[in-house]
Chains A and B, each alone.
Chain A
Amino acid sequence: DSGVTQTPKHLITATGQRVTLRCSPRSGDLSVYWYQQSLDQGLQFLIQYYNGEERAKGNILERFSAQQFPDLHSELNLSSLELGDSALYFCASSVGLQNEQFFGPGTRLTVL
């Protein structure tokens, strides 16, 4: 158990819908990262927040957005869902920058 929690574990939804994935970092960790693991693209970085501020963006679609709240939990919002958005979405956290990232168990999103 890494100490990072993600909810829900599984999510099944339809095309065109919007979902929110939630991540609670380890206690004391300020930095949160979101990664997407799909069959087509492999594991890729989406976005990073540090102490409430967006710090880095990867190949994140415009239909996707994220935020980190004052209590440091983070949410990833996926809208206008397409079949290709089906993937495992990981959240990771680290105490600061350039520190080890601890991965949560992931949220499995299935878009039908």
Chain B
Amino acid sequence: AQTVTQSQPEMSVQEAETVTLSCTYDTSESDYYLFWYKQPPSRQMILVIRQEAYKQQNATENRFSVNFQKAAKSFSLKISDSQLGDAAMYFCAYRSAMNRDDKIIFGKGTRLHILP
């Protein structure tokens, strides 16, 4: 079974600085997707960024980028120029591209605090 591990329950970063959230996963599949979701205090789940495992190029969305290391099964999220609105719980997530079902498997989350 696939698992997703986020080893940092909480992190803090100064406004305008850069922060990296860590995530590792375990799978025996070769084709899958990885995601980072943001959950602000409103509790809404917001997709931040998505990476297809077959793509070697790291995904980027404005200030958000990932470092995808397939062999190491590592998928970290870098947030540049941190803003107060980035304060939220961040979930790393996995979805198989091969199975009959396409459920999302989530890590336990990292709570990110932005210090003004």
Contact = CB atoms under 8 A, between A and B. Distances in A.
Q: Closest 9 A-B residue pairs measured CB to CB?
A: A56-B101, A103-B45, A45-B103, A43-B106, A42-B108, A98-B102, A106-B43, A97-B102, A105-B44
B11 interface: no
B55 interface: no
A101 B104 contact: yes
Q: Binding site of B, secondary structure by majority: helix, strand, loop or mixed?
A: loop
B100 A56 contact: yes
> How large, as a class, is the contact surface on chain A?
20 to 34
Contacts of B25: none
Given A88-B43, A106-B43, A45 B109 contact: no
B47 A45 contact: no
Interface string A29-43: 001010100000011
B43 to A, nearest CB: 5
Interface of A: 2, 31, 33, 35, 42-45, 48, 55-56, 58, 88, 90, 92, 94, 97-98, 100-101, 103, 105-106, 108
Interface string B98-116: 0011111111110000000
A56 B104 CA distance: 12
Contacts of B91: 43
B96 to A, nearest CB: 9
A37 to B, nearest CB: 8
A85 B41 CA distance: 21
Nearest to B98: A98
